[in-house]
Amino acid sequence: MGCKKQYVGHDFEEALCDLFPPQWLHDTAKETGLVKRERKVNPIALFWVLVLSFGVGMQRTLASLKRSYEREGDVALSDSSWYDRFSPELVRFLKTCVIHGIEQLAAAEHRCLSEKLKHFQDVLIQDSTIIRLHKMLAKKWPAARSRQVAAGVKVSVLVSAVANSMKSVSLVAERTHDMKTMRIGPWVKDRILLIDLAFYKHHLFTRISENGGFFISRLKGTADPTIVAVQSICRGNSIDVVGQRVSAVLPRLHRQVLDVEVEVPVKRRGYNGKHRKDIMRFRMVAVFNREDGVYHLYLTNISNALLTPDDISSLYGARWEVELIFKELKSRYALDMIRTMNAMVVAALIWVAILTLLASRQIYNLVRRRAEVTGKAVVRFTHLRWSTVFSENADNHLHALLRYLNIKMELIDFYRLYDCQAFDPHVKRQRFREEWWA
């Protein structure tokens, strides 16, 4: 089990600095080339201004971010100096920070699996969401199924139930097939993957099983496996199902649940231009849904000794958690508010939105632990409600954190800052009524 660190005093500031230590941020900025020598830009202040200003702020422009950085960092920058910061080096720095933040959150287990899942280490959910971009970025991130020139980037995430956050994240072009965003290996051992139909492939399920992992997936509509054995006897009219196709059994089924073993074809990866075909056996569960009036079919390799058919159906419904993360990223942290033709700015702000989510989760976990100590029902601290509260208070967190890091401004600095920011840099621009009064 991971260590649940207790904070005293500057709780929130310490928690954020524990997630992204100041010295680590400074060293990483140098390693990624963001800071080549000590100049005006403070990488620590820049990082926190981006994370706690862009997605949660009312002004979501680079100009407003520049003003926020100048205000919090006690420095005045030229426009060119600020915009030049949105470079491949910044993108590399932010991506490294995302990887670090995910690892830190995963190291401390923030939620415990129920007694029903005691035989498993974690429940993981893989999915993707699309962000529409300016059509000028179509060459770098081409959109899928579009007759016109369009661009879109696919954000693919793997969510951990135990870590209460992301396990991994990647950015690819919208045209990239979902299957290419998932790499199965020994890391799946003793973990359950809840698979979306976009990832449905018998070879994928076989790879998960061969690596000691477990999966639950809806049965694809075009799949029609053969039933080879009955896993458990359920109430209802008994009919002989062994040896028959699923499509032939369902119309005659008059019971709430069907729990059987099926055979599915598996096409192995090619070797020397040849593909070996195998047959694999998996468990198939059909649970009647009263609202839809149809059976919901699930394919899994989890035995009925560990999870009942109703458990399989209910656990698969937990896939909704990844959709809530996407909703949180888009509606609270501006993941879908990126309006620019600059590819570096797009990539940087996507990573910034994800970093904001990670920072939010760190404080959320702290609030949740403290509430748990007082006996409150922590399940009532829902993510979407929390994200609204966090967004409204992110500015306060930024001020408190920078003061905690001894990055602060005096009154005289505000005069100097306003003198710089309010002065229009465009020398030749004609001002309205300039010839009459000033």
- pLDDT tens-digit readout, 380-421: 888 888 888 999 898 889 888 988 998 865 444 434 444 444
At 270 the pLDDT is: 60
Amino acid at 390: F
- Confidence grade of residue 157 (pLDDT, cut at 50, 70, 90): very high
Phi, psi of 45 (to 5 degrees): -65, -40
Residues 194-213, mean pLDDT to the nearest whole number: 93
319 DSSP 8-state letter: G
- Confidence grade of residue 7 (pLDDT, cut at 50, 70, 90): very low
Residues 315-340, mean pLDDT to the nearest whole number: 87
% of the chain surpassing 70 pLDDT: 84
Task: Break the chain into its structural domains and give their ranges.
Answer: 11-107+340-421, 115-324
- Confidence grade of residue 437 (pLDDT, cut at 50, 70, 90): low
At 434 the pLDDT is: 61
State pLDDT tens for residues 262-319.
Answer: 999 988 766 666 667 789 999 999 998 888 888 999 999 999 999 999 999 999 999 9
What residues are paired with 286 via a beta bridge? 258, 297
- Confidence grade of residue 234 (pLDDT, cut at 50, 70, 90): low
CA distances from 384 to 120, 321, 324, 388 (A): 27, 11, 7, 6
At 306 the pLDDT is: 95
% of the chain surpassing 90 pLDDT: 39
At 314 the pLDDT is: 93
At 271 the pLDDT is: 61
Distance CA 283, CA 201 (A): 15
At 8 the pLDDT is: 46
Is the Cα dihedral 37, 38, 41, 47 positive or negative?
positive
- Confidence grade of residue 9 (pLDDT, cut at 50, 70, 90): low
Residue burial 62-97, b: 16+ Cβ < 10 Å; e: rest? beebbbbbbbbbbbebeeeebbebbeebbbbbbbbb
At 416 the pLDDT is: 47
The CB density around residue 337, as the number of other CB atoms within 10 Å, is 15
pLDDT at 254 over 80: no
At 169 the pLDDT is: 92
Mean pLDDT of the chain: 83
- Confidence grade of residue 205 (pLDDT, cut at 50, 70, 90): very high
Helix, strand, coil content of the chain in percent (nearest 5): 45, 20, 40
State pLDDT tens for residues 336-391.
Answer: 877 788 889 899 999 999 999 999 999 998 888 888 888 888 778 888 888 889 99
At 6 the pLDDT is: 47
At 58 the pLDDT is: 55
On the CB side of 149, CA atoms within 13 Å amount to: 7
CA 397: distance to chain centroid? 22
Amino acid at 317: G
In this structure, of 57-71, 233-247, 291-305, 401-415, the range with the lowest mean pLDDT score is 401-415
State pLDDT tens for residues 79-123.
Answer: 777 777 788 999 999 999 999 999 998 887 667 888 999 999 999
What's the whole-model pTM score? 0.81
At 49 the pLDDT is: 87
